[in-house]
Homo-oligomer: A and B are copies of this chain.
Amino acid sequence: MKGVPQPTLQRLVVYYRYLKKLAEMDEEKVVCSKKMGEDVGTSSAQVRKDLSYFGEFGCKGVGYEISTLMRCLERILGVNKRWKVVLVGAGNLGRALVNYQGFNRLGIEIVEAFDNDLDKIGNRVGALAVKNDKEMEIIIRKNNIKLAILAVPGEDAQQVARRLVAAGIRAIWNFAPEMLRLPADIHVYDENLAISLVTLIYKLNQDISSDSVKYIG
Q: Which A residues fall within an 8 A CB radius of B?
A: 1, 6, 9-10, 13-14, 16-17, 39-41, 76-79, 81, 83, 92-93, 95-97, 99-100, 102-103, 106-108, 146-147, 170-171, 173, 177, 179, 185, 187, 189, 191-207
Question: Which of chain B's residues have a CB closer than 8 A to the CB of A198?
Answer: 13, 16, 77-79, 106
Q: Is the Cβ of B207 less than 8 Å from the Cβ of A170?
A: yes
Q: Are B196 and A100 in contact (CB under 8 A)?
A: no
| Contact A100 B193, CB 8 Å, known A17-B177, A41-B179, A179-B41 | yes
**When A92-B100, A199-B10 are in contact, do A83 and B204 touch as well, CB less than 8 Å?**
yes
Q: Residue A205 contacts which of B39, B81, B191, B206 (CB distance < 8 angstroms)?
A: B81
Query: Nearest Cβ in chain B — how far from A11, in angstroms?
Result: 9
- Chain B residues with CB below 8 A from A203, complex form: 171, 187
CA distance A13 to B39 in the complex (A): 32
Given contacts A179-B41, A195-B14, contact A146 B77 (CB under 8 A): no
Could you list some 12 contacts between A and B, CB below 8 A?
A1-B206, A14-B192, A16-B198, A39-B179, A78-B205, A83-B201, A92-B96, A96-B96, A103-B194, A187-B203, A187-B207, A191-B193
* Cα-based distance from A102 to B92 in the complex (angstroms): 13
The closest CB in chain B to the CB of A1 belongs to B206
Which of A81, A198, A204 is most buried by chain B, counting CB atoms within 10 A of its CB?
A198
Identify A78's interface contact among B79, B96, B202, CB under 8 A.
B202
A207 and chain B: residue at smallest CB distance: B170
Distance A203 CA – B192 CA, assembled complex (angstroms): 20
Q: A10-B192, A187-B204 are known; give 8 further A-B pairs, CB within 8 A.
A: A6-B199, A76-B202, A77-B205, A93-B100, A146-B204, A147-B200, A147-B201, A173-B200
Given contacts A92-B96, A93-B100, contact A196 B201 (CB under 8 A): no
Residues of B within 8 A of A177 (CB): 17, 102
